[in-house]
Amino acid sequence: MSIETDAANNAGPQTLTMGKSMKRKEDPRFLTGNGNYVDDMRLPGMLYMAIVHSPYPHANIKGIDKTAALAMPGVKAVITGEDLVAASLAWLPTFHGFDKQMVLAVGKVLFQHQEVAAVFAETREAARDAAELVDVDYEPLDPVISPFDSMKDEIILRDDREDKTNHIYHWDSGDKDGTQTALDDSEVVVTERIYAPRCHPAPLEPCGCVAQFDAMGRLHFWVTSQAPHVYRTAISLVTGIPEDKIRVISPDIGGGFGNKVPVYPGYVCAIVGALILKTPVKWIETRTENLTTTGFARDYHMDVTIGAKKDGTVTALKVKTVADHGAFDAAADPSKYPAGMFGVVTGSYQFPVAFAELDAYFTNKAPGGVAYRCSFRVTEASYAIERGMDILAQKLTMDPAELRRKNFVRKDQFPYDSALGFTYDSGDYEGTMDKALNQIGYAELRREQVEKRARGEYMGIGISTFTEVVGAGPSKHFDILGIKMFDSAEIRIHPTGTGIIRTGTKSQGQGHETTWAQIVAEELGLDPQNLLVEEGDTDTAPYGLGTYASRSTPVAGAALALAARRVREKAKKVAAHLLEAATEDIEWVEHKFQVMGAPSRSVTMKEVAFAAYTNPGEGNEPGLEASLYYDPPNMTFPHGAYIAVVDVDAETGEVKVRRFLAIDDCGTVINPMIVEGQVHGGLTEGFAIAFMQEIPYDEQGNNMAPNFMEYLIPTSVEAPVWETGSTVTPSPHHPIGAKGVGESPNVGSPAAFVNAVMDALSPLGVTHIDMPLTREKVWKAIRNAEAAA
Ligand code: CDP
């Protein structure tokens, strides 16, 4: 991938760093164990907080006795929901504004592991031991575990709400009647219930914080946040502390994947503890707390119906979804998008008409859901349509690649208005798929499959040609808590031609310290090694909405390029002074300012930077810096073609992923090595989601995957060898043509894996198995199919 994309991006002589696989500037810190994470913080007098969790999924709280916990040596305080009611801090707003969430349970608990009390002690161990001594008197109630039971409204879960129903909201998009008419008229209709199981981002570093009030009463809050500025505003709104008296710092973060976007009850409790005890408080959650109480992902039950002509031309798409949001609707979606970007469910195909609707329900499960490495429900949408297209291909006995080719939005149709209202910016779906088919040797693989089938062996080839929508987002549509989803950049160039770059984003492993420097270096002709990137401190960074949903490059990356061009405009005047020419006669050629028509008369940005502080020229403002807030005109639409090749052992149900090829198109590539790393990571997560991971609940409401013994994390032992490649279709509206990439592999790969297994089992008549495709499930599907034959 690197070589090829390097070439594609280095086409012009002007390229200094863009498209080069520069080594990550941040890695020496991480590789030598010198990262600075929240749990590395040690402050004088710091106390530790532990949380008491409910063992019941649904129960009245009849009383809480703190006596034994408070009597333990080293314990300083225990707070409960009633204490927070007294301080008006019992509820948290959720990001999209449909609901609120209890900080500590008041009156009743609504999911197993819900936060019930917080204990503050001198050591982490004392806090945890004392938490076990907090005596809570529960009166168990019948739990509601399935959203299909919840919708009957036989047990109303949320008595704090005025509307006495478990139904949270209805969302729809598209032409309902037109879609039904088109389906009724279709020659072929396929329909399938497809479940995207509840899973969890499970970053290796769980969530945590340190809260400290200084002598002036100012809150310093170190936290594992993907969106520090939003936290500052949210903390101010919840606690009433003026925003200028709050400093939020996200230091190094060990993975986020959407899990570190919401504000969690533990953060509020730590701040309350630091306030009342007048000393710093640290809270670092355990793995079980992370898996059982923080934002889960997915949990969408999707009825997908596709209409088509007999030749495979699609005529209509209908998707009806039931969403399980758990006890509180804490989905981290933009305010106006309760179902996130699910409207991209028409995928890469020309559906003349479509209708998608979704109803969300409360259940006695942990609240969520977060955009786990996807741009707000895009993974669910992509999985639904990519599975649906394969089910259609199977019904028509058509090659799935040919079915896709027949229905792709063509290269010359962009910008393309989808049936559900998105305007896709650019793409070359057929070109990308053809590249993938050639690279993997598709025709040869199909020949091999025929031979194997003749021998009774189950080999499968799965294709996913997905389209994403990333870069939230244009302020006319996108906000969180009312805050528009722009992003920002600030660039200061020092006299010696080095500089500092700050943005409103926050890397959690994506390599922003490298790629942000590359963008600015390219625009200004400076050395990226000497452009320091700083993110995550609300006292210094310009206001931004943070890093998730692959929005950093489409939004902050654009802000950086445009801020750099502002610096260049300013520098041009100084260059004119140095070159004794009129500003209008100065042009920027090959990373230097030169006098038009006189290439020998030129100055470098480094020379101009020095002059900006020492000899700016009469009437020119000294110094060299700029800041910029960027409101994107549209989202960007990355796409890809993924192909999985699997062998299924019919005796054991074991699936071996023999090959996996990912061709990604994220527009202009800044750093091919980082993009490849992002793709490897996302594919490994997608592999785990397809085959290993789920957060199931039993009928009593017990979370059945509360640790890494049950919730399986893929290692290099299980993960296949990834083959990668790229095509480059720049975004026409992004200043450097870049789209996001971090989420594509997680969005596109689950369908490729599942399609491959279903393709392998298609001779048995198996059309669908819900993820995760464990051996047991695959084995059962084979046995059932054999029994039915
Ligand atoms: O928002 P987030 O940083 O998670 O995702 P992203 O914008 O997709 O970027 C992930 C990493 O890949 C960043 O370091 C980007 O700068 C880099 N990237 C790139 O080099 N070229 C692209 N076209 C897109 C992303």
Q: Is 669 in the pocket of ligand 1 (CB under 6 A)?
A: yes
> Which residue spans of the chain are classified as CATH 3.30.365.10?
12-33+487-630, 296-471+634-788
Order across the sheet with 59-65: list the strands: 108-109, 59-65, 135-140
Cα–Cα distances (Å) from 389 to 11, 339, 537, in that order, read 37, 22, 45
pLDDT at 279 exceeding the cut of 60: yes
pLDDT at 13 exceeding the cut of 80: no
- Report which protein residue has its CA nearest ligand 1's atom 16: 515
Distance 445 CA to ligand 1 centre (A): 33
Distance 186 CA to ligand 1 centre (A): 41
- What would the pLDDT profile of 410-443 be if each residue is shown by its tens digit? 999 999 999 999 999 999 999 999 999 999 999 9
Q: Is 603 in the pocket of ligand 1 (CB under 6 A)?
A: no
What's 516's DSSP letter?
Answer: H
Residue to substitute in 515, 665, 676 for testing ligand 1 pocket (most ligand atoms within 8 angstroms of CB): 515
Q: Is 504 in the pocket of ligand 1 (CB under 6 A)?
A: no
- Report which protein residue has its CA nearest ligand 1's atom 24: 740
- What would the pLDDT profile of 632-641 be if each residue is shown by its tens digit? 999 999 999 9
| Close Cβ partners of 530 (under 8 Å, ≥ 6 residues apart) | 497, 498, 499
Distance 416 CA to ligand 1 centre (A): 24
- The atom of ligand 1 lying closest to the CA of 507 is 3
Coil, strand, or helix at residue 729? coil
Q: Is 133 in the pocket of ligand 1 (CB under 6 A)?
A: no
- What would the pLDDT profile of 98-134 be if each residue is shown by its tens digit? 799 999 999 999 999 999 999 999 999 999 999 999 9
Please report the pLDDT score of residue 11 as a whole number: 42
Tell whether omega for the bond before 546 is within 30 degrees of 0, i.e. cis.
no
Residue to substitute in 5, 17, 675 for testing ligand 1 pocket (most ligand atoms within 8 angstroms of CB): 675
Query: Do residues 465 and 579 lie in contact, with contact meaning Cβ atoms separated by under 8 Å?
Result: no
Q: Is 528 in the pocket of ligand 1 (CB under 6 A)?
A: no
Query: Do residues 246 and 252 lie in contact, with contact meaning Cβ atoms separated by under 8 Å?
Result: no
- Assigned token pair, 408: 């792709």
CA distance 296 to 291: 8
Please report the pLDDT score of residue 577 as a whole number: 98
Distance 677 CA to ligand 1 centre (A): 10
Distance 234 CA to ligand 1 centre (A): 27
- Report which protein residue has its CA nearest ligand 1's atom 11: 510
Residue to substitute in 378, 520, 678 for testing ligand 1 pocket (most ligand atoms within 8 angstroms of CB): 678
Query: Do residues 228 and 506 lie in contact, with contact meaning Cβ atoms separated by under 8 Å?
Result: yes
Q: How sure is the predictor about 332, in pLDDT bands with cuts at 50, 70 and 90? A: confident
pLDDT at 659 exceeding the cut of 70: yes
Distance 639 CA to ligand 1 centre (A): 14
- Report which protein residue has its CA nearest ligand 1's atom 5: 550
- What would the pLDDT profile of 584-614 be if each residue is shown by its tens digit? 999 999 999 999 999 999 999 999 999 999 9
CA distance 554 to 517: 16
Please report the pLDDT score of residue 185 as a whole number: 98
Radius of gyration of the chain (CA): 27
- Report which protein residue has its CA nearest ligand 1's atom 2: 550
- Report which protein residue has its CA nearest ligand 1's atom 3: 552
Q: Is 511 in the pocket of ligand 1 (CB under 6 A)?
A: yes
- Report which protein residue has its CA nearest ligand 1's atom 4: 550
Residue to substitute in 741, 744, 747 for testing ligand 1 pocket (most ligand atoms within 8 angstroms of CB): 741
Written out in words, the top-level CATH class of the domain with range 12-33+487-630 is: alpha beta
Q: How sure is the predictor about 503, in pLDDT bands with cuts at 50, 70 and 90? A: very high
Q: Is 558 in the pocket of ligand 1 (CB under 6 A)?
A: no
CA distance 164 to 157: 9
CA distance 195 to 298: 9
Query: Do residues 667 and 702 lie in contact, with contact meaning Cβ atoms separated by under 8 Å?
Result: no
In the chain, the percentage of residues whose pLDDT exceeds 70 is: 98
CA distance 652 to 775: 7
CA distance 55 to 132: 12
Please report the pLDDT score of residue 376 as a whole number: 94
Category of 59 on φ-ψ map: left (φ > 0), alpha (ψ -120 to 50) or beta: beta
Please report the pLDDT score of residue 106 as a whole number: 96
- The atom of ligand 1 lying closest to the CA of 672 is 20
Distance 207 CA to ligand 1 centre (A): 23
- What would the pLDDT profile of 57-99 be if each residue is shown by its tens digit? 999 999 999 999 999 999 999 999 999 999 999 999 888 777 9
Cα-Cα-Cα-Cα torsion 628, 632, 633, 635, nearest 10 degrees, comes to: 170
Residue to substitute in 503, 510, 669, 729 for testing ligand 1 pocket (most ligand atoms within 8 angstroms of CB): 510
| Close Cβ partners of 412 (under 8 Å, ≥ 6 residues apart) | none
- What would the pLDDT profile of 374-396 be if each residue is shown by its tens digit? 999 999 999 999 999 999 999 99
- The atom of ligand 1 lying closest to the CA of 547 is 1
- The atom of ligand 1 lying closest to the CA of 515 is 16
Burial class (CB in 10 A: 0-12, 13-18, 19+), 277: middle
Please report the pLDDT score of residue 108 as a whole number: 97
Written out in words, the top-level CATH class of the domain with range 296-471+634-788 is: alpha beta
Written out in words, the top-level CATH class of the domain with range 38-141+206-253+260-293 is: alpha beta
Q: Is 674 in the pocket of ligand 1 (CB under 6 A)?
A: yes
Q: Is 684 in the pocket of ligand 1 (CB under 6 A)?
A: no
pLDDT at 7 exceeding the cut of 70: no
> Which residue spans of the chain are classified as CATH 3.90.1170.50?
38-141+206-253+260-293
Distance 674 CA to ligand 1 centre (A): 8
- Report which protein residue has its CA nearest ligand 1's atom 23: 669
pLDDT at 45 exceeding the cut of 60: yes
In the chain, the percentage of residues whose pLDDT exceeds 90 is: 95
Please report the pLDDT score of residue 15 as a whole number: 81
Q: Is 341 in the pocket of ligand 1 (CB under 6 A)?
A: no
Tell how strand 639-648 and strand 655-665 pair up: antiparallel
Q: Is 678 in the pocket of ligand 1 (CB under 6 A)?
A: yes
Q: Is 547 in the pocket of ligand 1 (CB under 6 A)?
A: yes
Please report the pLDDT score of residue 14 as a whole number: 66
> In 712-774, which ranges are continuous DSSP H helix?
744-761
Coil, strand, or helix at residue 345? helix
Give the least confident one: 233-242, 445-454, 744-753. Answer: 233-242
Residue 741: Cβ within 10 Å count: 28
Distance 497 CA to ligand 1 centre (A): 26
Q: Is 736 in the pocket of ligand 1 (CB under 6 A)?
A: no
CA distance 284 to 290: 10
Of 389, 383, 315, nearest to 355 (Cα)? 315
Per-chain mean pLDDT for the chain = 96
Distance 733 CA to ligand 1 centre (A): 17
Distance 72 CA to ligand 1 centre (A): 49
Q: Is 112 in the pocket of ligand 1 (CB under 6 A)?
A: no
**ipTM (interface predicted TM):** 0.98
Please report the pLDDT score of residue 481 as a whole number: 85
pTM to 2 decimal places: 0.96
**Which of the residues are catalytic?**
226, 373-374, 743
